[in-house]
Every structure is written in C-alpha cells, then in structure tokens.
Structure 1
Amino acid sequence: MAKELISLQYLRPPLHITRQFLSLTSPPSTLILRPKPPQNPIFIRTSSHRSKTSHDDDGVPADDVKTLAKFKSRHNFIRVIEVSRKTNHPLAGSRLLLLDNPGNIHSISFLLKTLTDSYFDVFATLPPIIPPGPIGILGFGAGSTARLILELYPPDFTVHGWELDPSVIDVGREFFGISKLEREHKDRIFINIGDALNASLKTGFSGILVDLFSKGSVIKELQDPKVWEDLKSRLRKRGRIMVNVGGNCVEAEDSERDGGLVMEETLKAMSHVFGDKLFVLTLGNGNDSSVALTGDLPDLDAWKKRLPRSELRSYVDMWVPYREHSSRH
C-alpha cells in the first residue's frame, strides 16, 4: 500500500499538509500542502498570517481546495481533494489522494499536464535503463506512477500493480483516471489486490518500483535484508529496483519512526544485498525524501537521450553512490 506522502496538519491558523494528523477543530483560511516525497515541499498560508517556514510564499487559500470524497475503508481513512486551477500554487489543477489518519498524499494527478514535479517523475526515469518487459509497482495507490509509464513509454513496457486496499483502486478509477488507463492500455496494465511483498510473475520483472508506506512511514519489512533478497530474486537479468525510501521530511504516526532514521535503516538493509550497486537521489534541499536505485550506474548521457521528456533529464545527474550518501548522514 502506500505512496506519496503528504499529510494534512492544521497549524493555527493555517492548515498544513505533511505527514501528520488532520485536525478539523478550527478550520483555517489557508491550506498548507506539502507533498512529502516531492522535489519541492509545498505549503499553504493565509493572507493575514504566515507560518514560520522558509516556504511562506507557497500559500494556497483553503477556499481553493475542494473535498471530493471522504470515507473509511478497511485499511485506510481515504480522502480525495482537488486544488483549483485558479490558485497560484504548484498544485493548482491537481487531485490528491490522502490516506491514513495523518492524511498522507499517496497520489497526484493534474488535469492539464502529465508530470508531477515529485518523486513519481523520478520513477518515470526507470524504463530506459531496464530491459523491455513488465514493471511491478508495489504500492499502486491511485496510479500516478502507472500513468506516467503508460503515457510516456511504448508498449514494450507493461505495468503490474499491487495495492492492499481495494477501495483505493475504486477511488483511483472514479477520480484519477485509472478506468481510462485500463481502457486505453488494456493489454499493458494489470492491477492486483493484495500484499505487494507477495508480488511475482513467472517470467520475472524487468523493473520493480517500490512505494510502500503505512501510517506515514516506510513499512518495517523494508528494513530487513531478507526482503530485498526476495525482491531481487524476482528480477529478470539486468533488471533493477527503484525505491521511495522516504527521508527527514517524513512524519509518521509513531514518533519513534523518525523519517531520516527509517530511510537510513532501509538503505542499509538494501546495501547488504546490493553492495556497491546501490545509488541514492535526494529531492529538494537535501532534507527531503530520497529514492534508491539498484544496479550499476548507467551511462548518464545515454540515459538522458532515451528519456521522453526533457524535464526528466535533471534527475539523472542527481544520483550518488550509497556509500557517499551515507558518509553525509
């Protein structure tokens, strides 16, 4: 399950979307949207009061945010919100899927553009450096990653997604265009309901994208090297795994699950399995979330040339060896 994390937290007077709880005791006049793993954290403020952050200029009036769905499923507290196209904000014209009590953002979809300016775009750089074939998405959410792959790449790549909560898929079909993807790419997208760690194909995966969070934290299983051994065994020859490992920006329900420490524990577990063939890309100002990549570092120039959108090329130069990353933390 899980995904992109943004939680909603009301600071008096603004509403702050990070990984914390959504408190409705005193509705604020502005909404602070901070997509957890995106490249640039996003905040919202009121015109009369600014929260004490370095992102004061990213305010979005609460009047420009509409709730489209709000209910509890067996696994999640699910909310879908829409940000007005008229507002002056990076999330203008987007729909967001919020899960868990903290209100984490697990999917982003824009009406008028494909790219998301978040870690989903980093995930979209994987196909050029893996063999053509099936890509497993562990933690499907409302299909943000699947949409990018299906719309940007040729039929040589198929998407096989796993999501624990069927209600999340239902919401994705109703509000995030999954139904349209299934109609237009019926031979390329396959959605499975169940534990993503049990995901497998007889032919193996060309690539695996891992985006598994629970209660605002990277799931505990991903701090176990045995899990990474298992996932590695499901890859085809020259296959790779790309992972949203969270970071300091992640605020879990459990205060003991510090985002930065969980990220380092996850990377350490991966390093036991992949050794020097592990690279890390950190988004934002260095204190935001990170993405991990397995395998030898590809030829960067060739990788850039094979990317379908020029906006994706900047990510290619951001990868550093895990050992270099760990020496900085």
Structure 2
Amino acid sequence: SSHNNNTKPDEEDEEFQVLTAVQTTYNKIVIIDTPKSTLLLLDSTHNVHSMLNKSISKWTGSYWDEFATLPPVVPPGPMAIFGLGGGTAAHLMLHLWPSLQLEGWEIDGILIDKSRDYLGLCDLEKHTTDGGVLNIHIGDVFSPRAAISGGYAVHAATWLELNDKLMPNGRFMVNCGAGEEGSTAMISQNDDSSMDDTWRLNATIRALCEAFPGQVNWKKMAKSAGENYMALTGPLPDLSTWSAALPNELNSGVNQWRACN
C-alpha cells in the first residue's frame, strides 16, 4: 500500500509550487513541484505518499524501492498494488521489470486523475516494448464488501480473505507504516535479542503473523527512509540468490529481511 508512511518532504527543497490542491471524499490531495521531484501529500501531516523524481535515477531511497525487489521471489504472473496512490511503486517496478503486468487498485478516482495529470501515471497505462503495463481499477479492492471500515490491515481476517486471491506460492509485500508510540520501552527492556522483536510494535505485522504463523518476514527501514516497517509473507527467500537478481541500488537491502520469531 502507498497510503501509510512516515516519509516527509526534504526540507532542503525550499522552493516549491503547489500544482493542485483538492479535497475528495477520501483524501485531502496536494501535489507540489520541487526542483528535484513532484510530491503527492494526502493529509494534514504532510507525509509524502508518492513521488516522481526528475533526475536520471528513479530510486527514492525509501520504502517504495522495496516493492521493485519483489518480482524475483514470486511466480510469474500479474501483480496487484492495493492503494496505488500516485503510482511510485508501479513506476519503479516497470522501470526495473518492463514485462510486468500490474493491476493497481485505488479507491479515490480523483487521486488517479490528478496522478495522471502530474505524476506520469498515464505513461504506465501504455504497454512497454516488453509488454508490461499498469491496469488501473478505481474502487474498493474488498468489494462487494465495499463498506469495510478503516484500519482493516490490522485484522488477520483481512489478510486471510486477500490470500484467497493469491496464486500458488504468491506473496504479500506490505508497507506497514510506523511502530506504535509508547511501546518501545516494553520491548527494549528485553534481552539482547530485543531488536529481533521490534516487529511486535507494528499492528499490521502482528495481524499478518496471526493469519500466517511462521510465514511472515519483516524489516525496518532506516531513519533516513522513514523508519517504516515492511512485511513479506511466505518462506524467507534465499537472500544471496535474491540479492544477485537485483541492481546495486537495491541488492544490499534484501539482506535485512528476517523471519518474525
């Protein structure tokens, strides 16, 4: 999901221009242009939910890059993005793996329109020379149960329901957001292995572990990358093989994945 993160705009990018600002049923959308990138902000926290870099390098140095590491550890076939937002993860995935078929789900149709206008989303809807494409679906991925309330990611039943949509040996990779404030002391009083337990601070990872016991892996992004927790379901991949399939910008990061104990 692109809708839960801790990344703030770079404070060095002082010059910026508001390209569009609109309130929808689901979001307060603000898209700003800076010298380095175009940024999508979705709420009053000014967290960055999507970004499009203007430099030659498309990598963000944040959790979006992680999604581009997924194709080597899943079976060939279509990949879904729930919470497409402005399409940052989709841009990176098709950049690195131009034959992918991506199915992007986003509940906010106005957000998609604005992302097509300002964040290059429409470019991804055209087939690449290798046949890859992003197909966009406006609506609730949980329909016909479309009235599902917020916070669904912290319930194991949600993941069991979504699991029915996975192909055999498919996986979820999830941006789980930050840990819970005030819980750190509880964990840090443990023994020296406490760092291996910090995933317990994240409600979404706890729900995933309840849904898929012994089949959840996690990592915590660096402070410079927002300190988000990430989760990957299924057996822990062979990290050296996985790393070897990735470009230099991404290959060292996969070594931080570990199984939830």
Which band: TM-score by shorter chain?
Answer: 0.7 to 0.9
Matched with 1:54 is none
**Partner SS, residue 183 of structure 1:** coil
**Unmatched 5+ residue regions in structure 1?**
7-34, 37-41, 45-59, 85-92, 200-213, 251-259, 324-329
Matched with 2:235 is 296
Matched with 1:276 is 214
Give me the CA root mean square deviation.
2.6
Q: CA deviation at 1:65?
A: 1.7
1:197 to 2:142 alignment: yes
Matched with 2:154 is 223
1:320 to 2:251 alignment: no
TM-score (norm 1): 0.66
1:3 to 2:3 alignment: yes
Distance 2:45 2:133 in 1: 33
**Partner SS, residue 169 of structure 1:** helix
1:102 to 2:48 alignment: no
Q: CA deviation at 1:237?
A: 0.9
CA change 1:43–1:173 in 2 (3 A) is: closer
Q: CA deviation at 1:2?
A: 4.8
**Partner SS, residue 140 of structure 1:** coil
Distance 2:170 2:156 in 1: 18
| Partner of residue 235 from structure 1, selected from 166, 170, 187 | 166
1:134-145 alignment, distance < 5 Å: 134-145=78-89
| Partner of residue 69 from structure 1, selected from 20, 29, 40 | 20
Matched with 1:88 is none
In the alignment of these two chains, the number of paired residues is 237
1:1-329 alignment, distance < 5 Å: 2-3=2-3, 5=5, 35=7, 44=11, 60=12, 62=14, 64-84=15-35, 93-112=36-55, 113-155=57-99, 157-185=100-128, 188-198=133-143, 219-248=150-179, 264-285=202-223, 288-307=227-246, 309-323=247-261
Distance 1:122 1:222 in 2: 19
**Unmatched 5+ residue regions in structure 2?**
182-197
| Range moving further from structure 2, 161-170 or 177-186 | 177-186
Distance 1:2 1:98 in 2: 11
| Range moving further from structure 2, 268-277 or 119-128 | 268-277
Letter in 2 for 1:245: C
TM-score (norm 2): 0.83
Q: CA deviation at 1:61?
A: 5.6
Q: Tell me if structure 2 keeps the 8 A contact 1:120–1:144.
A: yes
Distance 2:132 2:206 in 1: 37
**Partner SS, residue 169 of structure 2:** strand
- The answer to which structure has the higher strand fraction is 1
| Range moving further from structure 2, 232-241 or 260-269 | 260-269
Identical columns (%): 33
Q: CA deviation at 1:96?
A: 0.6
CA change 1:281–1:198 in 2 (3 A) is: farther
